[in-house]
Structure 1
Amino acid sequence: MGTGLEDVAAGVALELAGEFSCAAATYKGSGKKFLQQLAEQLDVPTEIEDDKGRIKPLTLDQLKEEIGLNLPTDALLILPEAKRLTTGIRFWLEDLIEAGCRVCCFAIANPGRDIFIEMIEVELELPSDRTIRYAMQDEATKLGFDLTTARLSQLQPLAGRNPMLARKVVRQEKLGINPTMEHRQYLVMMPILLAALFSFAVIRYVGMGVGNKNWQIFGGVALTVAMAAKQLGRVEGAKKKLGQ
Protein backbone atom coordinates (compact mmCIF):
# COMPACT_ATOMS: atom_id res chain seq x y z
CA MET A 1 0.00 0.00 0.00
CA GLY A 2 1.34 3.39 -0.89
CA THR A 3 2.08 5.80 1.90
CA GLY A 4 2.32 9.05 -0.07
CA LEU A 5 5.86 9.73 1.18
CA GLU A 6 7.14 10.14 -2.37
CA ASP A 7 4.61 12.92 -2.97
CA VAL A 8 5.71 14.69 0.21
CA ALA A 9 9.38 14.28 -0.71
CA ALA A 10 8.75 15.64 -4.22
CA GLY A 11 7.05 18.68 -2.69
CA VAL A 12 10.01 19.30 -0.37
CA ALA A 13 12.46 18.99 -3.28
CA LEU A 14 10.43 21.45 -5.35
CA GLU A 15 10.22 23.92 -2.47
CA LEU A 16 13.97 23.84 -1.74
CA ALA A 17 15.22 23.57 -5.33
CA GLY A 18 16.25 27.21 -5.42
CA GLU A 19 18.18 27.03 -2.14
CA PHE A 20 19.96 23.68 -2.43
CA SER A 21 21.16 21.24 -5.07
CA CYS A 22 18.41 18.70 -4.38
CA ALA A 23 18.50 15.06 -5.39
CA ALA A 24 15.64 12.70 -4.55
CA ALA A 25 15.58 8.94 -5.08
CA THR A 26 13.67 5.96 -3.72
CA TYR A 27 15.44 2.65 -3.11
CA LYS A 28 13.54 -0.09 -4.97
CA GLY A 29 15.80 -3.10 -4.64
CA SER A 30 18.77 -2.00 -6.78
CA GLY A 31 21.49 -0.03 -5.04
CA LYS A 32 23.16 0.78 -8.35
CA LYS A 33 20.04 2.32 -9.90
CA PHE A 34 19.41 4.21 -6.66
CA LEU A 35 22.88 5.77 -6.75
CA GLN A 36 22.63 6.47 -10.49
CA GLN A 37 19.47 8.49 -9.91
CA LEU A 38 21.21 10.57 -7.25
CA ALA A 39 24.33 11.04 -9.40
CA GLU A 40 22.39 12.18 -12.47
CA GLN A 41 20.50 14.80 -10.47
CA LEU A 42 23.75 16.08 -8.93
CA ASP A 43 25.56 16.18 -12.30
CA VAL A 44 28.00 13.52 -11.11
CA PRO A 45 29.45 11.23 -13.83
CA THR A 46 27.96 7.73 -13.94
CA GLU A 47 30.22 6.34 -16.68
CA ILE A 48 33.96 5.92 -17.16
CA GLU A 49 36.21 5.38 -20.15
CA ASP A 50 38.52 2.39 -19.91
CA ASP A 51 42.02 1.97 -21.36
CA LYS A 52 40.59 0.90 -24.72
CA GLY A 53 38.37 3.94 -25.07
CA ARG A 54 35.16 2.08 -24.26
CA ILE A 55 32.51 3.76 -22.14
CA LYS A 56 31.39 1.64 -19.21
CA PRO A 57 28.94 2.39 -16.38
CA LEU A 58 30.43 2.78 -12.94
CA THR A 59 30.05 -0.05 -10.48
CA LEU A 60 28.19 0.34 -7.20
CA ASP A 61 31.34 1.09 -5.20
CA GLN A 62 32.62 3.43 -7.89
CA LEU A 63 29.34 5.35 -7.84
CA LYS A 64 29.62 5.77 -4.06
CA GLU A 65 33.16 7.07 -4.38
CA GLU A 66 32.34 9.35 -7.33
CA ILE A 67 29.34 10.92 -5.59
CA GLY A 68 31.36 11.43 -2.42
CA LEU A 69 34.17 13.16 -4.32
CA ASN A 70 31.98 15.36 -6.53
CA LEU A 71 29.17 16.15 -4.12
CA PRO A 72 28.20 19.86 -4.28
CA THR A 73 28.67 21.80 -1.05
CA ASP A 74 24.98 22.75 -1.10
CA ALA A 75 23.73 19.22 -1.83
CA LEU A 76 20.54 17.98 -0.18
CA LEU A 77 19.67 14.28 -0.51
CA ILE A 78 15.96 13.60 -0.11
CA LEU A 79 15.14 9.93 0.47
CA PRO A 80 11.51 8.72 0.61
CA GLU A 81 10.83 5.31 2.18
CA ALA A 82 14.18 5.49 3.98
CA LYS A 83 13.46 2.28 5.92
CA ARG A 84 14.15 0.34 2.71
CA LEU A 85 17.78 1.45 2.53
CA THR A 86 20.30 -1.35 2.90
CA THR A 87 22.97 -1.40 5.58
CA GLY A 88 25.70 -0.60 3.06
CA ILE A 89 23.90 2.49 1.75
CA ARG A 90 23.13 3.68 5.28
CA PHE A 91 26.82 3.47 6.24
CA TRP A 92 27.72 5.33 3.03
CA LEU A 93 25.20 8.03 3.93
CA GLU A 94 26.76 8.21 7.39
CA ASP A 95 30.10 9.09 5.79
CA LEU A 96 28.42 11.78 3.66
CA ILE A 97 26.72 13.27 6.72
CA GLU A 98 30.04 13.39 8.57
CA ALA A 99 31.49 15.21 5.53
CA GLY A 100 28.79 17.89 5.85
CA CYS A 101 26.15 16.64 3.41
CA ARG A 102 22.51 17.34 4.25
CA VAL A 103 20.26 14.27 4.20
CA CYS A 104 16.48 14.30 4.63
CA CYS A 105 14.87 10.89 5.17
CA PHE A 106 11.15 10.11 5.16
CA ALA A 107 9.61 7.13 6.95
CA ILE A 108 6.32 6.17 8.57
CA ALA A 109 8.20 5.57 11.83
CA ASN A 110 11.77 6.19 12.91
CA PRO A 111 13.65 2.85 12.57
CA GLY A 112 15.81 3.86 15.55
CA ARG A 113 19.13 2.51 14.29
CA ASP A 114 22.50 3.80 13.02
CA ILE A 115 22.03 7.06 11.06
CA PHE A 116 18.39 7.48 12.07
CA ILE A 117 19.31 7.77 15.75
CA GLU A 118 21.39 10.90 15.11
CA MET A 119 18.86 12.58 12.83
CA ILE A 120 16.52 15.28 14.06
CA GLU A 121 13.02 13.81 14.00
CA VAL A 122 10.17 16.01 12.74
CA GLU A 123 6.64 14.63 12.80
CA LEU A 124 4.55 15.82 9.85
CA GLU A 125 0.85 16.54 10.04
CA LEU A 126 -1.52 14.35 8.06
CA PRO A 127 -2.73 15.79 4.74
CA SER A 128 -5.86 17.90 5.05
CA ASP A 129 -9.23 16.96 3.54
CA ARG A 130 -8.62 19.64 0.91
CA THR A 131 -5.35 17.97 -0.12
CA ILE A 132 -7.04 14.57 -0.43
CA ARG A 133 -9.84 16.06 -2.53
CA TYR A 134 -7.29 17.75 -4.78
CA ALA A 135 -5.40 14.46 -5.25
CA MET A 136 -8.63 12.66 -6.17
CA GLN A 137 -9.74 15.37 -8.57
CA ASP A 138 -6.27 15.51 -10.15
CA GLU A 139 -6.29 11.74 -10.71
CA ALA A 140 -9.77 11.91 -12.23
CA THR A 141 -8.61 14.64 -14.62
CA LYS A 142 -5.59 12.55 -15.70
CA LEU A 143 -7.88 9.61 -16.43
CA GLY A 144 -10.39 11.77 -18.28
CA PHE A 145 -13.00 10.73 -15.72
CA ASP A 146 -15.84 13.08 -14.79
CA LEU A 147 -16.12 12.89 -11.00
CA THR A 148 -18.98 14.95 -9.59
CA THR A 149 -18.65 16.88 -6.35
CA ALA A 150 -21.30 14.72 -4.69
CA ARG A 151 -19.54 11.48 -5.64
CA LEU A 152 -16.20 12.94 -4.58
CA SER A 153 -17.64 13.59 -1.12
CA GLN A 154 -18.81 9.98 -0.92
CA LEU A 155 -15.44 8.55 -1.97
CA GLN A 156 -13.21 10.76 0.16
CA PRO A 157 -13.77 8.88 3.48
CA LEU A 158 -12.50 5.69 1.80
CA ALA A 159 -9.08 7.29 1.26
CA GLY A 160 -8.55 8.57 4.78
CA ARG A 161 -5.56 10.96 4.78
CA ASN A 162 -3.47 8.99 2.28
CA PRO A 163 -2.98 10.63 -1.18
CA MET A 164 -1.95 7.29 -2.71
CA LEU A 165 -5.16 5.67 -1.53
CA ALA A 166 -7.08 8.69 -2.82
CA ARG A 167 -5.81 8.09 -6.36
CA LYS A 168 -6.43 4.35 -6.05
CA VAL A 169 -10.04 4.94 -5.06
CA VAL A 170 -10.57 7.09 -8.16
CA ARG A 171 -9.04 4.42 -10.41
CA GLN A 172 -11.32 1.78 -8.88
CA GLU A 173 -14.31 4.05 -9.39
CA LYS A 174 -13.47 4.54 -13.06
CA LEU A 175 -13.14 0.77 -13.59
CA GLY A 176 -16.53 0.21 -11.96
CA ILE A 177 -15.03 -1.57 -8.96
CA ASN A 178 -16.77 -0.82 -5.69
CA PRO A 179 -14.04 0.85 -3.56
CA THR A 180 -13.63 -0.37 0.00
CA MET A 181 -12.09 1.27 3.05
CA GLU A 182 -8.44 0.22 3.36
CA HIS A 183 -7.16 2.66 5.98
CA ARG A 184 -7.48 2.58 9.79
CA GLN A 185 -7.63 6.30 10.47
CA TYR A 186 -10.77 6.11 12.57
CA LEU A 187 -11.68 5.67 16.23
CA VAL A 188 -12.82 2.21 17.35
CA MET A 189 -15.64 2.76 19.86
CA MET A 190 -16.12 -0.85 20.98
CA PRO A 191 -13.52 -0.74 23.83
CA ILE A 192 -15.06 2.48 25.14
CA LEU A 193 -18.56 0.98 25.04
CA LEU A 194 -17.43 -2.18 26.82
CA ALA A 195 -15.63 -0.17 29.50
CA ALA A 196 -18.79 1.86 30.12
CA LEU A 197 -20.96 -1.24 30.40
CA PHE A 198 -18.54 -2.96 32.78
CA SER A 199 -18.47 0.22 34.87
CA PHE A 200 -22.25 0.13 35.21
CA ALA A 201 -21.96 -3.52 36.28
CA VAL A 202 -20.38 -2.28 39.52
CA ILE A 203 -23.81 -0.95 40.47
CA ARG A 204 -25.01 -4.56 40.81
CA TYR A 205 -22.63 -5.22 43.70
CA VAL A 206 -23.48 -1.88 45.30
CA GLY A 207 -27.16 -2.84 45.11
CA MET A 208 -26.41 -6.19 46.73
CA GLY A 209 -24.66 -4.38 49.56
CA VAL A 210 -27.47 -1.92 50.27
CA GLY A 211 -30.27 -4.33 49.41
CA ASN A 212 -31.57 -2.31 46.44
CA LYS A 213 -33.20 -4.69 43.89
CA ASN A 214 -33.38 -2.07 41.12
CA TRP A 215 -29.64 -1.48 41.26
CA GLN A 216 -28.97 -5.19 41.24
CA ILE A 217 -31.15 -5.68 38.15
CA PHE A 218 -29.63 -2.72 36.31
CA GLY A 219 -26.06 -3.81 37.09
CA GLY A 220 -26.76 -7.41 36.16
CA VAL A 221 -28.24 -6.38 32.79
CA ALA A 222 -25.24 -4.12 32.10
CA LEU A 223 -22.82 -6.96 32.92
CA THR A 224 -24.70 -9.40 30.68
CA VAL A 225 -24.81 -6.95 27.76
CA ALA A 226 -21.08 -6.21 28.16
CA MET A 227 -20.16 -9.90 28.11
CA ALA A 228 -22.39 -10.51 25.08
CA ALA A 229 -20.88 -7.54 23.21
CA LYS A 230 -17.37 -8.75 24.03
CA GLN A 231 -18.11 -12.18 22.55
CA LEU A 232 -19.79 -10.72 19.47
CA GLY A 233 -16.70 -8.62 18.84
CA ARG A 234 -14.69 -11.80 18.35
CA VAL A 235 -16.91 -13.10 15.55
CA GLU A 236 -15.00 -13.43 12.26
CA GLY A 237 -16.02 -14.55 8.82
CA ALA A 238 -15.00 -17.86 7.35
CA LYS A 239 -11.31 -17.93 6.38
CA LYS A 240 -10.89 -19.53 2.98
CA LYS A 241 -7.67 -20.28 1.20
CA LEU A 242 -6.94 -18.77 -2.19
CA GLY A 243 -8.90 -20.61 -4.87
CA GLN A 244 -11.58 -21.99 -2.56
Structure 2
Amino acid sequence: MLATGAIVAVNGLNPLSLMTLGIGAVLAFRKVAVLGIASSLSPKVSSKNDEAQNPEPTIEITAPSDFKIYRQAELNRTTASLKANGAILIAGEDGSGKSVLAGAVVENLQGEGYMVAFIEPATPKQMLLEIAHQFDIPTEDLEGKSLTADKLKRAIATFLEENTAFLILDDAHCCDAKFRMWLKQLRRIDAPMLLLATDPPRTDIFINIPRIELKPLPEYAIREIMIMAAAERAIALKPSELAKLQERAGGNPMLASRAVDEEYLGLELEGADHRRYFDITPLILLVGVVFVVMRFIGLGTNDQALYIFGGIAAAVFLGLSRLLYNLPPEDRRIR
Protein backbone atom coordinates (compact mmCIF):
# COMPACT_ATOMS: atom_id res chain seq x y z
CA MET A 1 0.00 0.00 0.00
CA LEU A 2 2.87 2.37 0.89
CA ALA A 3 4.66 1.57 -2.37
CA THR A 4 1.46 2.19 -4.36
CA GLY A 5 1.03 5.57 -2.63
CA ALA A 6 4.60 6.50 -3.43
CA ILE A 7 4.13 5.60 -7.10
CA VAL A 8 0.95 7.64 -7.27
CA ALA A 9 2.71 10.61 -5.63
CA VAL A 10 5.58 10.40 -8.07
CA ASN A 11 3.27 10.09 -11.05
CA GLY A 12 1.50 13.25 -9.93
CA LEU A 13 4.72 15.33 -10.19
CA ASN A 14 5.95 17.01 -13.33
CA PRO A 15 9.49 16.29 -14.73
CA LEU A 16 10.97 19.48 -13.20
CA SER A 17 9.77 18.49 -9.75
CA LEU A 18 11.19 15.00 -10.20
CA MET A 19 14.56 16.45 -11.13
CA THR A 20 14.53 18.71 -8.06
CA LEU A 21 13.72 15.79 -5.76
CA GLY A 22 16.52 13.72 -7.29
CA ILE A 23 19.15 16.43 -6.82
CA GLY A 24 17.98 17.03 -3.27
CA ALA A 25 18.26 13.33 -2.45
CA VAL A 26 21.81 13.15 -3.84
CA LEU A 27 22.95 16.23 -1.88
CA ALA A 28 21.37 14.91 1.32
CA PHE A 29 23.07 11.57 0.93
CA ARG A 30 26.44 13.26 0.29
CA LYS A 31 26.06 15.45 3.37
CA VAL A 32 25.25 12.47 5.55
CA ALA A 33 28.27 10.59 4.20
CA VAL A 34 30.62 13.51 4.80
CA LEU A 35 29.33 14.04 8.33
CA GLY A 36 29.78 10.35 9.04
CA ILE A 37 33.39 10.40 7.86
CA ALA A 38 34.16 13.62 9.74
CA SER A 39 32.69 12.28 12.96
CA SER A 40 34.80 9.15 12.66
CA LEU A 41 37.99 11.17 12.09
CA SER A 42 37.48 14.07 14.52
CA PRO A 43 38.76 13.68 18.08
CA LYS A 44 36.37 13.50 20.96
CA VAL A 45 35.77 16.60 23.01
CA SER A 46 37.94 16.38 26.09
CA SER A 47 37.08 17.61 29.50
CA LYS A 48 39.15 19.96 31.64
CA ASN A 49 40.81 16.98 33.27
CA ASP A 50 41.85 15.61 29.88
CA GLU A 51 43.29 19.01 28.91
CA ALA A 52 45.31 19.06 32.11
CA GLN A 53 46.69 15.61 31.39
CA ASN A 54 47.59 16.34 27.76
CA PRO A 55 50.80 18.37 27.40
CA GLU A 56 51.04 21.50 25.26
CA PRO A 57 51.49 20.60 21.59
CA THR A 58 54.94 21.09 20.14
CA ILE A 59 55.80 22.96 16.99
CA GLU A 60 56.08 20.66 14.02
CA ILE A 61 59.70 21.02 12.87
CA THR A 62 60.78 19.83 9.47
CA ALA A 63 64.28 19.26 8.20
CA PRO A 64 66.33 22.40 7.57
CA SER A 65 65.63 23.87 4.15
CA ASP A 66 67.98 25.65 1.80
CA PHE A 67 69.71 28.83 2.89
CA LYS A 68 67.37 31.82 2.85
CA ILE A 69 68.32 35.48 2.68
CA TYR A 70 65.97 37.70 4.67
CA ARG A 71 67.50 40.99 3.55
CA GLN A 72 66.83 40.82 -0.17
CA ALA A 73 66.23 44.58 -0.48
CA GLU A 74 69.57 45.39 1.15
CA LEU A 75 71.27 42.76 -1.01
CA ASN A 76 69.91 44.25 -4.23
CA ARG A 77 70.75 47.79 -3.17
CA THR A 78 74.30 46.89 -2.15
CA THR A 79 75.02 44.95 -5.33
CA ALA A 80 73.67 47.77 -7.49
CA SER A 81 75.78 50.35 -5.63
CA LEU A 82 78.96 48.34 -6.12
CA LYS A 83 78.27 47.82 -9.83
CA ALA A 84 77.81 51.55 -10.17
CA ASN A 85 81.48 51.87 -9.22
CA GLY A 86 80.54 53.10 -5.79
CA ALA A 87 81.13 52.22 -2.19
CA ILE A 88 78.69 51.33 0.56
CA LEU A 89 78.88 50.88 4.33
CA ILE A 90 76.60 48.38 6.05
CA ALA A 91 76.26 49.07 9.76
CA GLY A 92 74.46 47.03 12.38
CA GLU A 93 74.80 45.49 15.79
CA ASP A 94 76.75 42.28 16.33
CA GLY A 95 74.88 39.28 15.00
CA SER A 96 72.48 41.33 12.84
CA GLY A 97 73.49 39.44 9.69
CA LYS A 98 76.19 41.65 8.16
CA SER A 99 78.54 38.77 7.34
CA VAL A 100 75.70 36.71 5.88
CA LEU A 101 74.73 39.63 3.68
CA ALA A 102 78.35 40.11 2.61
CA GLY A 103 78.61 36.43 1.67
CA ALA A 104 75.51 36.76 -0.49
CA VAL A 105 76.99 39.83 -2.21
CA VAL A 106 80.22 37.95 -2.92
CA GLU A 107 78.29 35.00 -4.32
CA ASN A 108 76.23 37.24 -6.60
CA LEU A 109 79.22 39.15 -7.93
CA GLN A 110 81.35 36.06 -8.49
CA GLY A 111 78.41 34.36 -10.18
CA GLU A 112 78.37 37.20 -12.71
CA GLY A 113 82.08 36.79 -13.39
CA TYR A 114 83.47 39.68 -11.34
CA MET A 115 86.67 39.53 -9.29
CA VAL A 116 86.04 39.92 -5.57
CA ALA A 117 88.41 40.05 -2.61
CA PHE A 118 86.70 39.27 0.69
CA ILE A 119 88.91 39.84 3.72
CA GLU A 120 88.55 40.01 7.49
CA PRO A 121 90.49 42.09 10.04
CA ALA A 122 94.12 41.13 10.61
CA THR A 123 97.41 42.99 10.60
CA PRO A 124 97.70 45.52 7.76
CA LYS A 125 100.39 43.47 6.00
CA GLN A 126 98.35 40.27 6.24
CA MET A 127 95.27 41.97 4.82
CA LEU A 128 97.27 43.41 1.94
CA LEU A 129 98.73 39.99 1.17
CA GLU A 130 95.25 38.44 1.28
CA ILE A 131 93.90 41.03 -1.15
CA ALA A 132 96.85 40.44 -3.47
CA HIS A 133 96.36 36.66 -3.39
CA GLN A 134 92.65 36.87 -4.16
CA PHE A 135 93.29 39.27 -7.03
CA ASP A 136 96.26 37.21 -8.27
CA ILE A 137 98.61 40.16 -7.81
CA PRO A 138 102.30 39.17 -7.49
CA THR A 139 103.60 39.61 -3.95
CA GLU A 140 107.27 39.32 -4.89
CA ASP A 141 109.50 41.43 -7.10
CA LEU A 142 111.62 40.20 -9.99
CA GLU A 143 114.37 39.24 -7.58
CA GLY A 144 112.05 37.04 -5.53
CA LYS A 145 111.85 39.37 -2.56
CA SER A 146 108.56 39.95 -0.82
CA LEU A 147 106.98 43.31 -1.52
CA THR A 148 106.77 45.79 1.30
CA ALA A 149 103.44 47.07 2.57
CA ASP A 150 103.80 50.32 0.62
CA LYS A 151 104.58 48.47 -2.62
CA LEU A 152 101.63 46.15 -2.05
CA LYS A 153 99.35 49.16 -1.60
CA ARG A 154 100.57 50.67 -4.88
CA ALA A 155 100.19 47.35 -6.70
CA ILE A 156 96.64 46.87 -5.44
CA ALA A 157 95.69 50.46 -6.27
CA THR A 158 97.06 50.05 -9.81
CA PHE A 159 95.15 46.79 -10.23
CA LEU A 160 91.88 48.38 -9.13
CA GLU A 161 92.41 51.27 -11.53
CA GLU A 162 92.95 48.94 -14.48
CA ASN A 163 90.38 46.23 -13.66
CA THR A 164 86.78 45.94 -12.52
CA ALA A 165 87.16 44.32 -9.12
CA PHE A 166 85.45 44.67 -5.76
CA LEU A 167 86.93 44.90 -2.28
CA ILE A 168 84.76 43.65 0.62
CA LEU A 169 85.96 44.08 4.19
CA ASP A 170 84.11 42.52 7.12
CA ASP A 171 84.31 44.05 10.62
CA ALA A 172 86.00 47.11 9.18
CA HIS A 173 85.73 48.92 12.52
CA CYS A 174 88.37 46.51 13.89
CA CYS A 175 90.94 47.45 11.27
CA ASP A 176 93.93 49.66 11.94
CA ALA A 177 93.30 53.38 11.47
CA LYS A 178 96.16 53.63 8.95
CA PHE A 179 94.64 50.83 6.89
CA ARG A 180 91.30 52.64 6.86
CA MET A 181 93.06 55.79 5.70
CA TRP A 182 94.49 53.77 2.81
CA LEU A 183 90.96 52.69 1.96
CA LYS A 184 90.02 56.36 1.91
CA GLN A 185 92.78 56.95 -0.63
CA LEU A 186 91.40 54.09 -2.75
CA ARG A 187 88.07 55.88 -2.86
CA ARG A 188 89.78 58.80 -4.58
CA ILE A 189 90.34 56.52 -7.56
CA ASP A 190 86.72 55.30 -7.35
CA ALA A 191 87.65 51.80 -6.21
CA PRO A 192 84.37 49.97 -5.45
CA MET A 193 84.28 48.60 -1.92
CA LEU A 194 81.86 47.25 0.64
CA LEU A 195 82.58 47.80 4.31
CA LEU A 196 80.72 46.11 7.15
CA ALA A 197 81.01 47.48 10.65
CA THR A 198 79.44 47.53 14.09
CA ASP A 199 78.94 51.07 15.41
CA PRO A 200 81.50 52.58 12.99
CA PRO A 201 83.14 55.82 14.17
CA ARG A 202 82.42 59.00 12.24
CA THR A 203 85.97 59.31 10.98
CA ASP A 204 88.22 58.45 8.01
CA ILE A 205 86.60 56.11 5.47
CA PHE A 206 83.37 55.68 7.42
CA ILE A 207 82.36 59.30 6.94
CA ASN A 208 83.13 59.28 3.20
CA ILE A 209 80.74 56.65 1.92
CA PRO A 210 76.96 56.17 2.17
CA ARG A 211 75.67 53.72 4.72
CA ILE A 212 72.86 51.23 5.17
CA GLU A 213 71.84 50.46 8.74
CA LEU A 214 70.44 46.98 9.21
CA LYS A 215 67.19 46.94 11.14
CA PRO A 216 66.05 44.02 13.33
CA LEU A 217 64.51 41.16 11.36
CA PRO A 218 60.72 40.75 11.51
CA GLU A 219 59.20 38.23 13.89
CA TYR A 220 58.38 35.68 11.20
CA ALA A 221 62.03 35.60 10.08
CA ILE A 222 63.31 35.09 13.64
CA ARG A 223 60.74 32.34 14.13
CA GLU A 224 61.89 30.54 10.97
CA ILE A 225 65.53 30.83 12.02
CA MET A 226 64.71 29.33 15.41
CA ILE A 227 62.71 26.49 13.88
CA MET A 228 65.57 25.63 11.51
CA ALA A 229 68.09 25.81 14.36
CA ALA A 230 65.91 23.52 16.47
CA ALA A 231 65.61 21.09 13.56
CA GLU A 232 69.40 20.94 13.23
CA ARG A 233 69.65 20.02 16.92
CA ALA A 234 66.68 17.63 16.77
CA ILE A 235 64.78 19.29 19.61
CA ALA A 236 61.05 19.99 19.89
CA LEU A 237 59.84 23.43 20.95
CA LYS A 238 56.45 24.22 22.43
CA PRO A 239 54.72 27.41 21.24
CA SER A 240 55.26 29.05 24.63
CA GLU A 241 58.96 28.14 24.61
CA LEU A 242 59.38 29.43 21.08
CA ALA A 243 57.68 32.72 21.98
CA LYS A 244 59.93 33.17 25.01
CA LEU A 245 63.08 32.49 22.99
CA GLN A 246 61.88 34.82 20.24
CA GLU A 247 61.41 37.61 22.77
CA ARG A 248 64.95 37.06 23.99
CA ALA A 249 66.37 37.33 20.45
CA GLY A 250 64.78 40.71 19.75
CA GLY A 251 65.11 40.60 15.95
CA ASN A 252 68.78 39.54 16.00
CA PRO A 253 69.37 36.36 13.94
CA MET A 254 72.57 35.44 15.79
CA LEU A 255 70.84 35.76 19.15
CA ALA A 256 67.98 33.67 17.78
CA SER A 257 70.32 30.77 17.01
CA ARG A 258 72.11 31.23 20.33
CA ALA A 259 68.82 31.13 22.24
CA VAL A 260 68.05 27.73 20.68
CA ASP A 261 71.54 26.52 21.65
CA GLU A 262 70.95 27.65 25.23
CA GLU A 263 67.61 25.84 25.26
CA TYR A 264 69.30 22.74 23.86
CA LEU A 265 71.90 22.84 26.65
CA GLY A 266 69.23 23.39 29.30
CA LEU A 267 70.45 26.85 30.29
CA GLU A 268 67.82 29.06 31.90
CA LEU A 269 68.61 32.70 31.23
CA GLU A 270 66.55 35.79 31.91
CA GLY A 271 66.57 39.01 29.96
CA ALA A 272 68.11 39.75 26.61
CA ASP A 273 71.23 41.44 25.33
CA HIS A 274 69.90 42.69 22.04
CA ARG A 275 69.71 46.41 21.29
CA ARG A 276 66.24 47.41 20.21
CA TYR A 277 65.57 51.08 20.76
CA PHE A 278 62.41 53.04 21.41
CA ASP A 279 61.92 56.53 19.99
CA ILE A 280 61.01 58.88 22.85
CA THR A 281 60.32 61.88 20.60
CA PRO A 282 56.49 61.53 20.79
CA LEU A 283 56.69 61.33 24.58
CA ILE A 284 58.78 64.49 24.75
CA LEU A 285 56.34 66.35 22.50
CA LEU A 286 53.40 65.22 24.62
CA VAL A 287 55.06 66.50 27.81
CA GLY A 288 55.76 69.83 26.13
CA VAL A 289 52.14 70.20 25.03
CA VAL A 290 50.96 69.44 28.59
CA PHE A 291 53.19 72.19 30.01
CA VAL A 292 52.00 74.75 27.47
CA VAL A 293 48.35 73.88 28.11
CA MET A 294 48.98 74.13 31.86
CA ARG A 295 50.33 77.64 31.39
CA PHE A 296 47.25 78.74 29.44
CA ILE A 297 44.94 77.20 32.03
CA GLY A 298 46.69 79.17 34.73
CA LEU A 299 46.30 82.33 32.64
CA GLY A 300 42.61 81.71 32.01
CA THR A 301 41.72 80.78 35.59
CA ASN A 302 43.83 83.56 37.08
CA ASP A 303 45.85 80.93 38.95
CA GLN A 304 49.21 82.61 39.34
CA ALA A 305 50.95 79.56 40.81
CA LEU A 306 49.84 77.32 37.94
CA TYR A 307 50.78 80.00 35.41
CA ILE A 308 54.30 80.38 36.86
CA PHE A 309 54.82 76.61 37.16
CA GLY A 310 53.68 76.05 33.57
CA GLY A 311 56.02 78.79 32.31
CA ILE A 312 59.05 77.41 34.16
CA ALA A 313 58.29 73.84 33.05
CA ALA A 314 57.83 74.96 29.44
CA ALA A 315 61.18 76.79 29.51
CA VAL A 316 62.98 73.75 30.95
CA PHE A 317 61.31 71.53 28.38
CA LEU A 318 62.39 73.76 25.48
CA GLY A 319 65.97 73.72 26.74
CA LEU A 320 66.07 69.92 27.11
CA SER A 321 64.40 69.35 23.74
CA ARG A 322 66.95 71.61 22.06
CA LEU A 323 69.78 69.72 23.77
CA LEU A 324 68.39 66.35 22.68
CA TYR A 325 67.91 67.62 19.14
CA ASN A 326 71.61 68.51 18.91
CA LEU A 327 72.70 65.04 20.06
CA PRO A 328 73.50 62.30 17.50
CA PRO A 329 70.49 60.13 16.57
CA GLU A 330 71.79 57.11 18.50
CA ASP A 331 72.01 59.12 21.72
CA ARG A 332 68.33 60.09 21.45
CA ARG A 333 67.27 56.47 21.85
CA ILE A 334 66.63 54.47 24.98
CA ARG A 335 66.65 50.70 25.39
Give your verdict on TM over 0.5.
yes
Please give the residue correspondences for 1:132-171 in structure 2 after superposition, counting only pairs within 5 Å. Answer: 132-142=222-232, 144-148=233-237, 150=239, 151-171=241-261
Contiguous gaps of at least 5 residues in structure 2: 1-93, 302-335
Q: Does 1:23 find its partner at 2:95?
A: no
What pairs with 1:50-199 in structure 2 (closer than 5 Å)? 59-71=148-160, 73-109=163-199, 111-142=201-232, 144-148=233-237, 150=239, 151-179=241-269, 180-185=271-276, 187=278
Look up the SS of the partner of 2:166 in the other structure: strand
From the superposition, tell whether residues 11 and 127 of structure 1 become closer, same or farther in structure 2 (CA, over 3 Å): farther
- Aligned residue identity for 2:123: S
Q: Is the 8 A contact 1:159 1:166 kept in 2?
A: yes
State the TM-score, normalizing by the size of structure 1: 0.63
Q: Secondary structure at the match of 2:103?
A: helix
Contact 1:140 1:170 in 2 (8 A): yes
CA RMSD of aligned residues (A): 4.1
Q: Distance in 2 between matches of 1:131 and 1:16?
A: 25
Instruction: For residues 175-210 of structure 1, give each alpha carbon's deviation from its aligned partner in whole angstroms, at most 9, with x where no partner exists.
Output: 111244111315499x95xx77xx59x98xx79x97
Q: For residues 117-143 of structure 1, what are the alpha-carbon distances to aligned partners after superposition, in whole Å with 9 as ceiling and x for unaligned?
A: 32123344432333323433444444x
Give the counterpart letter for 2:117 in structure 1.
A
How far is the alpha carbon of 1:158 from its aligned partner? 0.8
Identity %: 34
Structure 1 39/174 Cα, relative in aligned 2: closer, same or farther at 3 Å?
A: farther
TM-score (norm 2): 0.48
Structure with the bigger RCO (C-alpha within 8 Å, sep 6+) is: 2
- SS state at 2:179 partner: helix
Does the 8 A contact of 1:23 with 1:78 survive in 2? Answer: yes
Is the CA contact (8 Å cut-off) linking 2:230 and 2:237 kept in structure 1?
A: no
Hey, what's the Cα distance between the residues in 2 that align with 1:17 and 1:133?
Answer: 31
Amino acid paired to 1:26 = E
Please give the secondary structure, in 2, of the residue aligned with 1:17.
Answer: helix
Instruction: Give the superposition deviation at 1:163.
Output: 1.6
- 1:8, distance to aligned residue in structure 2 (A): 2.2
Structure 2 residue matching 1:105: 3-state secondary structure = strand
Quote the offset at 1:75 in angstroms.
1.0
Change (3 A) 1:35 1:162: farther
CA distance in 2, matches of 1:41, 1:129: 38
Which residue of the partner structure matches residue 7 of structure 1?
100
Aligned to 1:220: none
**Residue 44 (structure 1) aligns with:** 137
SS in 2 for 1:122: strand
Residue 88 of structure 1: CA displacement?
Answer: 1.6
Cα deviation, 1:51-97, whole Å, max 9, x if unaligned, reads: 5xxxx765544443443344462211122322222222122212322
Structure holding more helix per residue? 2
Residue 22 (structure 2) aligns with: none
Q: Is the 8 A contact 2:248 2:259 kept in 1?
A: yes
2:212 is paired with a residue whose SS is: coil
Q: Deviations over 1:209-229 (max 9, x none)?
A: 97xxxxxxxxxxxxxxxxxxx
C-alpha displacement of 1:148:
2.8
Call closer, same or farther: CA 1:131–1:79 in 2, change over 3 Å: farther
Q: Which residue of structure 1 lines up, in the alignment, with residue 54 of structure 2?
A: none
